[in-house]
Structure 1
Amino acid sequence: MPEEKIQSGVEKGVYLSLLAYIVLSLLKLGVGWIYSSEALVADGLNNTTDILASVAVLIGLKISKKPADRDHPYGHLRAETIASMIASFIMVVIGLEVFISAIKSIVEFKMRPPSTIAGFTAVISAALMLAVYRYNIKLAKVTDSQGLKAAALDNRSDAFVSIGAAVGIFGAQFGIVWLDPLAAVLVAMMIIKTGWDIFYETSHNLSDGFDFEEGKEMEKVILQVKGVKQVTSLKARKHGSLAIIDVTIDVDPSLNVVESHMITENIEKLLKQEYKVESISVHVEPHEIRNEVEKNE
C-alpha cells in the first residue's frame, strides 16, 4: 500500500475517534454531573484524555509526513511513535486523578444513587466505542500504524470502561450505592493500564527494540534467495510503522561484483514484499574465507 494511502487511512481513523470522543465526553460529563454518577463523570474524563491523545497522534502524523532532510536522513516517521508515548502519559495522569477522587468518595462515604439515565448513557456509549474500535483495529492492521493501533486499543478500553460504569450505575439502583464510585475506581485502573501498555510498546520501539521472532522469520526468508549461503547477522529496528534492516550474508567467493549485487537486489525485493520495510542494507562476505577465519580463531 502506498505511503500516502496509509497516512490517509490512519488520519481517517484518528479523526473518527476524535469526533466520537468529543461527543461522548460532553454527553457523559453533562449527564454524569446532572444525575450524580461518579462512574459516568470518570468515564467522561477518560474520553477527555482521549481527545488530547488523539490530537497528539494527529500532530505526530502531520510531522511524520515531512520528507527527509539534512538532520533527519531517515525522515520523520518516529514522530508518530513519540505522539503515542505522549498520549500514554496523559492517560496515566488522568487515570491517577480519577482513581484518587473515587477512593475519596468511598472512604468519606459521600454518595448518592445515580439515575438510570446515566446507566443507559453508558450502555449507548459502549456500543458506539466498540463500533469505532472494530473499524480502527482493522485499519491499523492494514496500515501497521502504531498511532492508530494505540487509538484502537484505547477505543476498546473505553467501551469496557463504559460497560463497567453502567454496571456500577445500575447496581446502585438496587441500594448498593458504593458500586458507582467502585466502578469509577475500575475505570481509573483501566485508563492507567491502557496508558502503560502504549508506553511500553512505544518505548520499546524508540529504544530500537525489535521483535526477536520476526527477525528470525526474516532470516528464513533471506535464506530462500538463490546464492545466499548463510545469514551471519541481521539487525532491525522500527522507524514509525516501517522497519530498517541491516543484514550480512555469505555468498560463494567465486561470484563477481555484479552477481553478488543481484543477490542483494533479490533480498531487498523479497523482504519488501513480505514485510513493511523502509530501507535494507545488505553486506556481502565470501562464505569460504569467513569459515576459514573462524577455524583459525
Structure 2
Amino acid sequence: MKTNKNLTRMEYGLLAGVVGIILNLFLFLFKLGIGFFSLSISIIADSINNLSDGASAIVAIIGFKIADKPADNEHPFGYARGEYISGFIISILIVVIGIQLLINSIKSIIEPTELIVNIYVIIILICSILVKLWLYKFNMNIGKKINSHTLIATAVDSLNDVYVTLGVLCSIILSYYINFNLDAYIGCVIAIFIIYSGFKLIKETVSPLLGEAPNPELIQNIKSNVMSYDGVIGFHDLIVHTYGHAQVFCSLHVELDAKVDIMLSHELIDTIERELSQKLGINMLIHLDPVITDNKCIMEMKEMLEEIVYKIDTKLEVHDFRIIKEAPYTNLIFDLAVPDDFVMSDEDLVKEINTKVKGYSDFLRCIVKVDKNYISTYI
C-alpha cells in the first residue's frame, strides 16, 4: 500500500479508522445473515467479532484525536500517550471477544446443532478472509509508517479474524464431508489463540505507559554524538523520557574542562543541544559539569575512589567528584550512579565505600549522593 507523505499522523489514524468501520460493518451484516441461515454458532460469533472490530476502529479514531491535541497547562508535554490508551482498550476488547467465542464454542459442543451449508456461505466466508487480509496489510503498513501501537494492534486483530474465519470455513467444509460437526471444536482452538494474542498486545501497549527501556540504538547515538565534540571529557546522568510518538525528551550532564572560559563552555553546550535535537529528532537538555583535570591530588584521590568502587561492581559510576577540606577531615564528595539490578542497599553500599576509603586514611570521609542509572529506565 502506498501512503501519502503529506498526511499527518492524525490523518493517517483517521483514514485507517474510517476504513475499518466501513469494512467491519459490511462484514458484520453479511456474516450475521449467513450465520442465522446456516445455524452456525461460529459464524454468528465471527460476525459479532467484526462488529467489535468496528467499535475498536471508533476507539482508535478517538485515541488519535486525543493524541493530536496540543499541549496545555495541565498537560505541558501534550496528549500523545492517549494513543497508547486506545491501543490498550483495543487489546482488552480482543481478549473479551476471545473469551466470549470460547464460551459460545463450549456451549455448541454441549448442545450441537445441524449445519446448513451451501455455496453462498462458502463464497461469503472466502470474501471475508480476503477483506480481512487486505485490512491487516493496510493497518500494518500505516502502523509501521507512523510507529503506532494502536494500528499495529488493530492489524494483528485483523489477522486473528483471518484465522477465525478460515477455521470456521474449514470446519464447515470438513463437517459436511465427515458428517460430524467440527464447528464448535475449531471455535475453541481459535478462541484460545485470540485470547493469547490479546494478552500479548496488552503487554505491548501497557509497557510504554509503565516505563520501558529506551531503544539501545538511540542511547548509542546519543553517546557517540556527544563524545564526538572537541572538549567533551565525558557525560553522565543520561535520562530519556517519552510522551508518545516523536515526543522524546533527553537530559544529561556533559563534563568539560574547568579551565576553559565559562562562556565558551556554555556556547559548546548550546551547540550540542541544538545539533543533536535536529539530528536525532529529540528534545535535548544538557547541564554543564566543569571538571578539574590538572590537580594531581584530586586526580589521585579520584583514581583511588574509582578503584574501590569498581572492585565492588564494575557497573557503578563515579561522577561530580570534588574535594572539600574540613579540618581535620578531607571530604570526598561525589555522585554514584547505581544500576537498577544492583542488589546492595544504598546504605550498605555507602558504608562499605567509607570503610574501604578509611583504610587509606582515617581522615578521609565520603559524602555520597546515590543516583539511579536512568539509561536503563524509560519513563
TM-score of the aligned structures, taking structure 2 as reference length:
0.69
Give the aligned partner of residue 135 of structure 1. Answer: 138
Give the aligned partner of residue 293 of structure 1. Answer: 321
In the alignment, residue 164 of structure 1 is paired with which amino acid?
Answer: G
Give the aligned partner of residue 209 of structure 1. Answer: 212
Distance 1:208 1:169, change over 3 A: same
Distance 1:37 1:207, change over 3 A: same
2:113 to 111, 117, 122: 111
Give the aligned partner of residue 54 of structure 2. Answer: 51
Which structure carries more relative contact order (alpha carbon 8 Å, separation 6+)?
Answer: 1
Cα distance between partner residues in 1 of 2:206 and 2:235: 28
1:271 paired with 2:280, answer yes
In the alignment, residue 243 of structure 2 is paired with which amino acid?
Answer: H
2:80 to 77, 80, 85: 77
1:15-94 equivalences in 2 (<5 Å)? 15-94=18-97
In the alignment, residue 201 of structure 2 is paired with which amino acid?
Answer: I
Give the aligned partner of residue 261 of structure 1. Answer: 270
- Answer with 1 or 2: which has the greater Rg: 2
Distance 1:42 1:215, change over 3 A: same
Tell me by how many angstroms 1:262 deviates.
0.7
Cα distance between partner residues in 2 of 1:225 and 1:42: 60
1:167 paired with 2:176, answer no
Tell me by how many angstroms 1:288 deviates.
5.2
1:284 paired with 2:271, answer no
Structure with more of its chain in strand, by fraction: 2
Cα distance between partner residues in 1 of 2:138 and 2:115: 35
* Unaligned runs of at least 5 residues, structure 1: none
Distance 1:237 1:157, change over 3 A: farther
> Which deviations, in whole Å up to 9, do the C-alpha atoms of 1:127-183 show, x marking residues without a partner?
111112112211111111222222222222222222122111111111253321122
Distance 1:291 1:96, change over 3 A: closer
> Which deviations, in whole Å up to 9, do the C-alpha atoms of 1:221-275 show, x marking residues without a partner?
5346424443423333432223423231424322421122111211211211xxx
SS at match of 1:161: helix
SS at match of 2:28: helix
Q: Percent identity?
A: 24
1:99 paired with 2:102, answer yes
Tell me by how many angstroms 1:58 deviates.
0.8
Tell me by how many angstroms 1:70 deviates.
0.9
Cα distance between partner residues in 1 of 2:6 and 2:284: 17
Cα distance between partner residues in 2 of 1:3 and 1:282: 33
Tell me by how many angstroms 1:82 deviates.
1.0
In the alignment, residue 263 of structure 1 is paired with which amino acid?
Answer: I
Tell whether the 8 Å contact from 1:205 to 1:237 is kept in structure 2 after alignment: no
Cα distance between partner residues in 1 of 2:37 and 2:213: 49
Give the aligned partner of residue 226 of structure 1. Answer: 229
> Which deviations, in whole Å up to 9, do the C-alpha atoms of 1:70-94 show, x marking residues without a partner?
1011111111111111122222222
* Unaligned runs of at least 5 residues, structure 2: 294-317, 324-331, 335-379
In the alignment, residue 113 of structure 2 is paired with which amino acid?
Answer: M
Cα distance between partner residues in 2 of 1:294 and 1:42: 70
Distance 1:173 1:284, change over 3 A: farther
SS at match of 1:252: strand
1:236 paired with 2:245, answer no
Cα distance between partner residues in 1 of 2:83 and 2:320: 46
1:9 paired with 2:37, answer no
SS at match of 1:226: coil
Cα distance between partner residues in 1 of 2:42 and 2:234: 59
Structure with more of its chain in helix, by fraction: 1
In the alignment, residue 38 of structure 1 is paired with which amino acid?
Answer: I
Distance 1:146 1:220, change over 3 A: same
> Which deviations, in whole Å up to 9, do the C-alpha atoms of 1:180-211 show, x marking residues without a partner?
11222233223323322221112111112244
Give the aligned partner of residue 148 of structure 1. Answer: 151
SS at match of 2:254: strand
